[in-house]
Amino acid sequence: MKNLSKLSLALMFLVFFSCSPKNKAVQSGDAATSETSNKTEAVQTANSTNPNSTDVNLNEQASTDEELIKKYIADNGLKAERDPSGLYYVIEEPGSAEKPSAQDQIKAHYHGMLLDGTVFDSSVDRGQPFDFPLGRVIPGWQTGIPKFGRGGKGKLIIPSGMAYGPRAAGSIPANSVLVFDVEVIDFFNQEAKDEEVIKKYITDNKLKAERDPSGLYYVVETPGTAEKPGLENQVTVHYHGTLTDGTVFDSSVDRGKPATFPLNGVVPGWQVGIPKFGKGGKGKLIIPSGMAYGSRPAGKIPPNSCLIFDVEVIDFQ
């Protein structure tokens, strides 16, 4: 692989949550692409030069959605409950007493439909559960998924304002109420899991690491100059990147050529970690997955991977 593609893989900033188009129906704008057919863009309200007019339009749509949802519930003989947000839900199986929170990583199956029964997306049909951080999906899922514990099953009936609002999203028309049959397979706190993995790595390798408030751990072997790079700087660095099991996924050292890049254009773990060193500084960055590539795979890097970088800051300007 050419150096540029290697650098792009290991360093260039990726949004924390950008799933494949196969899981496009429940994602929020943090994972959006510019393609109009992609359903990952955020719930948006119509722009208007008159804010009061926008409020009226939104209120009217919310009322319309409420009527449509109530009719759907009646027509299908459902025993649904209403959340104060306007979301309706049916609990078929509650699952465990413990419920997921906004900070958790979720594994779920879902089958998404419009009110007329049109299927627009389904992990069930694909036979592959959907893994995602709960804080990065549409508001209807952020509110609805915590109604269920592990093993919980049921239905979410989501008003348009908690889905994609007045914009079309692929095969989902504008102002659509969405219906999801969901099953929560598992969930866990990724940050806590990363912390546990990193602490074990530090212990196993007998490292004297410091913890940044961000969750990044680092080892300063040689501090380098007193002056440190900032986000506005162009940085030249040698690096050797591994997973916690020692698997090498990228290395400028192995290629024999350092990498030069704008510090504000790389993963957050580098944005926080590289400024720990001055020119000539050397050490190790131990990066939690949320400050790297999060729940998405990146080449040889599996989803939710903590990354280890041996780094040497050669220069910055």
Is 89 noted as a catalytic residue in this protein? no
Q: How far is CA 252 from the centre of its chain?
A: 28
CATH topology of domain 205-316: Chitinase A; domain 3 (3.10.50)
Is 180 noted as a catalytic residue in this protein? yes
Given this model, what pLDDT does residue 294 score?
A: 87
According to DSSP, residue 45 is labeled: P
Closest CA relative to residue 155, chosen from 77, 101, 102, 96:
77
pLDDT band of 42, cuts 50, 70, 90: very low
Single pTM value for the model: 0.67
Residue of 16, 17, 88, 120 marked catalytic: 120
CA distance 173 to 166: 8
Residue of 16, 88, 106, 138 marked catalytic: 138
pLDDT tens across 101-126, in order? Answer: 998 999 999 999 999 999 999 999 99
> Do the domains 25-188 and 205-316 sit in the same CATH topology, yes or no?
yes
According to DSSP, residue 245 is labeled: T
Is 164 noted as a catalytic residue in this protein? yes
Q: Give the sign of the dihedral formed by CA 82, CA 87, CA 88, CA 91.
A: negative
Is 130 noted as a catalytic residue in this protein? no
pLDDT band of 29, cuts 50, 70, 90: very low
Residue of 16, 180, 187, 316 marked catalytic: 180
Query: Residue ranges per domain, the chain?
Result: 25-188, 205-316
CA distances to 3, 72, 73, 158, 271 from 67, rounded to whole Å, are 57, 9, 10, 12, 49
Is 138 noted as a catalytic residue in this protein? yes
Question: Which class is domain 25-188?
Answer: alpha beta
Residue of 17, 110, 132, 148 marked catalytic: 110
Residue of 164, 218, 239, 309 marked catalytic: 164
Q: Is the pLDDT of residue 145 over 90?
A: yes
Residue of 65, 104, 121, 131 marked catalytic: 121
Closest CA relative to residue 311, chosen from 262, 269, 274:
274
